[in-house]
Amino acid sequence: MERFIENYQNEKFDVIVIGGGITGASVAYEAATRGLKVALLEKKDFSWATSAVTSKMIHGGLRYLVNGEVGLVRESLRERRVLENIAPNYVYPWPMMMTHYTKPLKNNKWVVKIGMLVYDALSYDKNFTWDSCKKIPAHRTVSREEVMRSEPSVRTEGLTGASVFYDCISIFPERFTLAFIKSAVACGAKVSNYAKVEGFLVDDRKKVTGVRVKDLLQNKIHEVSGTVTINCGGPWADILLGIAKQNGNVNGTLRRSEGIHIITKKRLLSGKYTVGSMTPAGRHFFLIPWRGHTLIGTTDKPYHGNPDDYRVTKTSILELLEDVNSSFGDGKLSYKDVQHTYGGLRPLVEKETKETYSSSRKYEIYDNQDEGLDGLITVEGGKYTTSRRLAENCLKIVAAKLNRDLGKSITEKKYLTGCDIKDLCVFLNEIQKQKNGFSSATLDYLGHNYGTEYAEVIKLAQEDKTLSETLNEDGEILAQVVYAVRDEMARTLSDIVMRRTGIGTLGNPGENVLRKVAQVAAKELQWDANRIEKEIADTVNLLKLPQ
């Protein structure tokens, strides 16, 4: 991929997409598959914000049934299956154990049983997958004794049993988002990270005709023209809309919810299940086995202020620890057990509820012509699982504005780039047979996280043996760094270790590893010694726990 903004020559696009998270990536891909000329602009790196701070799940939203959002749950379950199909190496079934206690009432196993039966019914097509090894069974209710045998760390006081059901996990959301962007590029879209939209082009009829963009890497301003501009700014969507109105006023529909996660090495799970529990106040949290660690999340509380100023705080971490200790384990999980933390802001559109936990995860697509901004569409809200469907619905509005028949969506019928894998089990087994001097861990990691593109990474390591050096227990190798820069538009050390690879996503891997990665990146990006030190310092600071 190439940053088109570096060589932009006044080309006019049919569609300009602002935002390189999963929503913008999905919209750009959907538009490109319909034959439109598409440009995608992201002010930092792709998937750096909300799309990077998930619980690693692609789920139907069982708890949304409590709010009566049957339509949202059905849409999510359908899209869960679609994503399993088009991205088989990124999305696959995983067992969930939801524990039940005598209190609160909504966690009673018989009350939940009703919800589980509805959930099973709404996912009637869950096994209509392209890959036959991705079968999902119906839920089952297990006894208190079976829970204690399976997950000894579960709090036993008041325990009445558990529901075991399947949703899907997404092992690397940042690379999954990147797969949508790569797919858009393969269909002709032009994309650029570190391209910040600072203003809108508006003609004398008040029609938005493009955007004013600053290339943050070359410090240049460009005016990019487009017939339709789509605001997929996530937590920044209302701020962008205020810029378009040139008076800072927004429509007031967007709320922001903070969600954080912590990662600990402390052994809390068997590794067989994701375990869901409920606090005495009735909030769910999950403990997820992930890369030999336990991933715990998430919180859900209102955030007020500029999203650019958001940071995870020690207070938020302690609040999550308090929730966990009130409901799970021996109650002794402490701040010193936290190896890494991450957090972000969810954009919510519902205003009626007092707390963000109960707010809907539905999305809204607005034609801003109604506000005097013809040529601008704003997307607000939504969840990762339904982003592809959101994009499909967004293109209906685009087609009307362009007054063109764009045909039907084909994105649910096409593998994403690098994901053309008919049987994941067979694919991974075939990779292991090839060996070529690489460890089983390396081959398994590359197969899952690069799909059919794993061979390009292997080729780089074979051409330069120094790039075959293993960097962590997952088997990641230095060749991934070169691939990230040459083929995946990584431009900083944090791009590489946080979003193209998993080197930094368990916390600081140590100066030795960061320096090796930085030195390889420096050769590709022509960094001098001062730039290397700055990149390392910036990444170390990013990975520090809040104090």
Give the DSSP letter string of 396-453: HHHHHHHT-------GGGSPPTT---S-HHHHHHHHHHH-TT--HHHHHHHHHHHGGG
Residues 185, 236 within the same domain: yes
Type of residue at 213: V
Crossing angle, helix 22-33 and helix 173-186, to 10 degrees? Answer: 20
DSSP structure class, residue 505: B
CATH number where 392 lies: 3.50.50.60
Residue 197 has pLDDT above 60, yes or no: yes
Note the pLDDT tens digit of each residue in 239-272: 999 999 875 555 556 889 999 999 999 999 999 9
Tally of CB atoms within 10 A around 437: 11
Boundaries of domain holding 473: 424-542
Does any domain span residue 201? Answer: yes
Q: Which residues contact 428 (CB under 8 A, 6 or more apart)?
A: 444, 447, 448
Q: How many residues does the chain have?
A: 547
Q: What is the mean pLDDT of residues 128-153?
A: 95
Reduced to 3 states (helix: H, G, I; strand: E, B; else coil), residue 136 is: coil
Predicted pLDDT at 542? 97
Does any domain span residue 509? Answer: yes
Residue 156 has pLDDT above 50, yes or no: yes
Does any domain span residue 463? Answer: yes
Which helix (H) or strand (E) element contains residue 344? Answer: strand 338-348
Type of residue at 367: D
Residues 488, 402 within the same domain: no
Reduced to 3 states (helix: H, G, I; strand: E, B; else coil), residue 298 is: coil
CA–CA distance from 322 to each of 67, 146, 330 (Å)?
Answer: 26, 26, 12
The closest of 272, 95, 91 to 170, measured between CA atoms, is 91
Q: Which residues contact 223 (CB under 8 A, 6 or more apart)?
A: 201, 210, 211, 212, 213
Dihedral of CA atoms 235, 238, 241, 242 in degrees, nearest 10, equals -120
Residues 371, 496 within the same domain: no
Domain edge (last residue) among 352, 378, 413: 413
Does any domain span residue 521? Answer: yes
Reduced to 3 states (helix: H, G, I; strand: E, B; else coil), residue 245 is: helix
Lowest mean pLDDT among 128-132, 351-355, 363-367, 477-481: 351-355
Does any domain span residue 532? Answer: yes
CATH number where 526 lies: 1.10.8.870
318 close to 333: Cβ distance less than 8 angstroms = no
Residues 406, 469 within the same domain: no
Residues 365, 475 within the same domain: no
Does any domain span residue 535? Answer: yes
Q: Strands, E, within 129-207: which ranges?
A: 140-142, 159-170, 190-192, 195-202
Q: Which residues contact 465 (CB under 8 A, 6 or more apart)?
A: none
Domain count for the chain, please give it: 2
Q: Which residues contact 86 (CB under 8 A, 6 or more apart)?
A: 411, 412, 414, 415, 416, 419
Q: How much helix, strand and coil, in percent to the nearest 5, is found in the chain?
A: 40, 25, 35
Reduced to 3 states (helix: H, G, I; strand: E, B; else coil), residue 195 is: strand
Residues 428, 537 within the same domain: yes
* pLDDT, the chain, mean: 94
Task: Tell me the C-alpha distance between 397 and 151, whole Å.
Answer: 49
Which helix (H) or strand (E) element contains residue 326? Answer: helix 314-327
How many H-runs (helices) and E-runs (strands) does the chain carry?
15, 18
Residues 444, 369 within the same domain: no
The closest of 305, 299, 222 to 259, measured between CA atoms, is 299
Reduced to 3 states (helix: H, G, I; strand: E, B; else coil), residue 368 is: helix
Predicted pLDDT at 382? 85
Predicted pLDDT at 353? 45
CA–CA distance from 376 to each of 365, 368, 422 (Å)?
Answer: 11, 5, 39
Note the pLDDT tens digit of each residue in 107-138: 888 999 999 999 999 999 999 999 988 999 99
Domain edge (last residue) among 351, 382, 413: 413
